[in-house]
Amino acid sequence: MSYFKFNDKKIYYRELGSGTPLLLLHGNTASSNMFEEVVSLYEANNKLILIDFLGHGKSDRLDKFPADLWFYEAQQVIAFLKEKNYKNVNLIGTSGGALVAINVALEAPQLVNKVIADSFEGETPLVEFVVNADVERAESKKDEDTKAFYAAMHGDDWNQVVDNDTNAIIEHAINIGKFFHKELSSLKPEILLTGSKKDEYVGAIDPEYFEKVYGLMITKIGHGNYYLFDAGGHPAMMSNPELFYQLSMDFFYKDE
């Protein structure tokens, strides 16, 4: 297994295939294991890179997650790309990983070629999720299928990982409230926002949630597009694997 150091802690990563580097960024309570079912698709035509953020998967654990979690994880990605001397990297971030991908593009555009940000709530936390986070996460830890997912992502200490994530989400919403440190208008790489019209997290709030939030973000950025799948749940990348793969390859390589 391969690791690199960030703030004296080890971050796990894998590199597969060859070609243009493509880094997949996992979401909250997940790890790079979430992408196992689609690895064979992407490694065929890309230099595929997978990492586990600190506190997740096979990376070193943290006693507590920082409240500015998605910016902190972006700093890990930037440090990794610089250490490995990667440039013109394509990024796909899904759910919380989408927030990380956008932060990377805002903070280190010189390292990034194009970005796909999939199935995320927008520029600010989703109030309806945050206010129920404690209760919903406690319930999730009783559900056998969800417990199996957590264990597959992290191993035997999954419970602490989930609790750390829940606490960070709540603390962020109370004390910070914005996911990005820079204005979206400063984002330089090409960007595509994706989601599913059947996303179970936002659909109950507003059936047109993504259209409204993504549309506003694209207006602020000043370039880019969004695409919504008619079917599939959260995240769209994993619930529409073949269609999402084709969409992503068309986006990344349309000019070549």
46 close to 256: Cβ distance less than 8 angstroms? no
- Whether the CB-CB separation of 96 and 125 falls below 8 Å is answered with no
Over residues 17-29, mean pLDDT: 97
Residue 34's pLDDT is 98
Q: Summarize the confidence of residues 242-251 as an average pLDDT.
A: 98
Quick check: 217 and 123 in contact, CB under 8 A?
A: yes
Q: Look up residue 49 and give its two tokens.
A: 């890179």
Predicted confidence at residue 65, as pLDDT, reads 98
Residue 21 pairs in a beta bridge with 47
pLDDT surpasses 90 at 185: yes
What pLDDT digit, counting tens, does each position of 88-138 carry?
999 999 999 999 999 999 999 999 999 999 999 999 998 888 988 899 999
- Confidence bin at 67 (pLDDT 50/70/90): very high
Please work out, in degrees rounded to the nearest 5, the angle formed at the alpha carbon of residue 89 by the alpha carbons of 83 and 47.
90
Over residues 57-78, mean pLDDT? 98
105 closest CA partner among 118, 94, 116: 116
* R_g of the chain computed on alpha carbons: 17
CB-side exposure of 145: number of CA atoms within 13 Å?
0
Q: Which domains does the chain have, with CATH numbers?
A: 2-253 (3.40.50.1820)
Mean pLDDT computed over 191-216: 94
Q: Which pLDDT value is given to residue 203?
A: 83
State residue 254's pLDDT score: 86
- Residue carrying structure tokens 């997290």: 201
The answer to whether the beta carbons of residues 26 and 149 sit under 8 Å apart is no
Report CA-CA distances (Å) from 241 to 173, 183, 231. Answer: 31, 31, 11
Question: Looking at residue 35, what is its pLDDT?
Answer: 98
Cα separation, 172 vs 124, in Å, equals 10
Residue with tokens 């990380």: 100
What is the arithmetic mean of pLDDT over 240-252? 98
**Directed axis angle between helix 158-175 and helix 144-154, to 10°?**
90
pLDDT exceeds cutoff 90 at 8: yes
pLDDT of residue 256: 63
Q: Average pLDDT, whole number, for the chain? A: 96
Residue 145 scores a pLDDT above 80: yes
Asked whether the beta carbons of 34 and 14 are under 8 A apart, the reply is: no
CA distances, 83 to each of 3, 71, 76, 104, 138 (Å): 11, 18, 11, 15, 38
Mean pLDDT calculated for residue range 213-231: 98
